[in-house]
Structure 1
Amino acid sequence: MTERTAQESKVANITAMGDALGSIYSELWQEVAWIHQRWAHFVELFGTKPERIDLMNQAAPPLFRTVQDTLFEAVLLHLARLTDPSKNVLSLRRVVKLTTGTPIGKEVAKLVQEAIAATEFARDWRNRKLAHRDLQLALGGRAQTLAPASRADVKTALKAVVDVLNAISAHYLDSTTGFHLGPGGADALGLLLILRDGLRFEEQRMERLRKGVFSPEDLKHEAI
C-alpha cells in the first residue's frame, strides 16, 4: 500500500469527488484522524487497565488527573465541532448538501443525522461547561444536569462520525478508513513503560539508602 501525504490525498479526493466535496472530505478526514489519535492516548492511559491508573497515581496524581481531564474534554470539544450547525464552520453537516442528488445522498443525510444525535452530549458539555460556564450549573442552582459523557458514549459518537466519511469514501474511492486501528496510543504506552521503570529504580534507590549501601549518585538527582 502506497503512503500519500495529506496534500496528495486531497488531490486524489478532489479528482474523484469534485472540488467542493473532495476539499471538505479531505479536511474532515484529517480532523477525524486527529480526534482518534487523542482518544487513543486517553484510552491507553486511562481506559485499559486499573494498574495503569495506579501507576500514574504513584508518580504524579495531580498532573495525570489534569492530563485525563484535558484529553477527555478536548475530545468532547472536537466531537461538538465536527457536527456544529453553523454555516461558516467545517462540519459534517456540510456534506449533506454536497451529496444531495447523488446515489449516496439519502444515506449520507441519514448518517449525518445519526452523528448529530450521537454527539449531542458533547455539545451540551461544550455549551454549558467547557466553552462556557452555565451560571446555574456553576452555582449549583436548578440547572439541568449535564448529559452523561462516558467512554462508551464517545466510542458510539466516533463510530457515527466515521460512518459518514466511510460512506462517502466507499462510493467515490472504493475504500474505507479504520481510524481506530491507527498507532495513536503507542506514545502513551511508551510513557507508561518509562514511568514504571523509573518508579522501580526509585524503589531500589530508596532501599539502598535504607540499608546504607549506596553510591554518591543515589543522593542527588541530575538536573533536567
Structure 2
Amino acid sequence: MISEDERRGRCFEGMGDALGAMYCDLNDHLVDVLLLWEQFEQLFGADEETVQVLNSAAPTFFGVVQAQFLDSVMLGISRLTDSPVNSRQKNLSIRSIPPFVSDLNLRDQVDGAIQIALADTKFARDHRNKRIAHTDLLHVQGCAAKRLPPANRQKIKAGLESICAVLEILNGHYLQSEFAYDTLIYGGGAGSVVALLRGGLKHQDCEVEY
C-alpha cells in the first residue's frame, strides 16, 4: 500500500502540479463524503430490521443522527459542485477542473461529465442554500413560489456517482487506473454499532424473560 505522499506524487507526475493537486484534494474530500454516506447507509439503508434495532435502542438519538448525516452529505455534495469562485474566494470544486486540462477532447469529456453531475446534484445545492447553510424565510413560512425538491437516497446516490465519474475520467486518462469508489471498504463503522446494539437488546430481552 503506497503512502499519501507517494499517491500525491504519482498524481503530480501524471497530471502536472496544478491539476494533480486539485485532483488529490477533490478526491480526498469526495472520499470523506462517501465515508459519511456509507455510515448513513449502514444505519438507515440496510434493511427494516436494522431500523427497528435503532428505534428500539434510542429512537430520538438516531432520528437526530439520520437528519444530521443526511444534511452533512448534501452539504458535502454542494461543496464539491460549487461555483469555482464566490466573490473573491476560490473554491475547491469539480467545476474548477476544465481550465487545467490542456487536451481539448479530454476537456470536453470532463466538462460533459461535470454538467451531468451538476444536474444530478442541483437538489442538494437547493437544500444547502435554502435550509442547511441558510434559513430562507419564505421557505420556513411556506410562502416560497417553489417547494424544495425531494432529497432521497436514490438522488443522493446518483449525485455521488456522477461526481465520482468526473474524477474517474482524470484517473483513467492520466494514471491509466480506476479508483473504484464503489469498492471502498470502511471497517469499524456504523455497522459495528448496530451489531453491538442488536446484541445488547437480545441480552436485555433475556434478562426480562429471566
TM over 0.5: yes
Query: Which residue of structure 2 lines up, in the alignment, with residue 42 of structure 1?
Result: 40
Q: Tell which deviates more after alignment, 141-150 or 189-198.
A: 141-150
Query: Which residue of structure 1 lines up, in the alignment, with residue 58 of structure 2?
Result: 60
Of 89, 107, 110, 2:109 maps to 107
Partners of 2:37 and 2:186 in 1: how far apart? 8
Query: Which residue of structure 2 lines up, in the alignment, with residue 77 of structure 1?
Result: 75
TM-score (norm 1): 0.88
Query: Which residue of structure 2 lines up, in the alignment, with residue 221 of structure 1?
Result: none
RMSD of aligned residue pairs (Cα, Å): 1.3
Whether 1:155 and 2:157 are equivalent positions in the alignment is: yes
> Aligned letter for 1:48?
A
Residue 100 of structure 1, CA deviation: 4.3
Structure 2: gaps of 5 or more residues = none
Q: Is the 8 A contact 1:36 1:184 kept in 2?
A: no
Whether 1:89 and 2:87 are equivalent positions in the alignment is: no
Partners of 1:31 and 1:61 in 2: how far apart? 30
Partners of 1:120 and 1:142 in 2: how far apart? 18
- Superimposed CA distance per residue, residues 11-70 of structure 1 (whole angstroms, 9 cap, x where no aligned partner): 110011100000000001111111111111111110120110011000000000111111
Residues 116-127 of structure 1 aligned to structure 2 (within 5 Å): 116-127=118-129
Residue 190 of structure 1, CA deviation: 1.0
Find the structure with the greater CA-based Rg: 1
What is the percent sequence identity of the aligned residues? 33
Query: Which residue of structure 2 lines up, in the alignment, with residue 220 of structure 1?
Result: none
Query: Which residue of structure 2 lines up, in the alignment, with residue 188 of structure 1?
Result: 190
Whether 1:17 and 2:19 are equivalent positions in the alignment is: no
Distance 1:157 1:35, change over 3 A: same
Alignment length, in residue pairs? 206
Q: Is the 8 A contact 2:117 2:159 kept in 1?
A: yes
- Superimposed CA distance per residue, residues 52-102 of structure 1 (whole angstroms, 9 cap, x where no aligned partner): 001100000000011111111111000000010142010001111111444
Q: Is the 8 A contact 2:84 2:96 kept in 1?
A: no
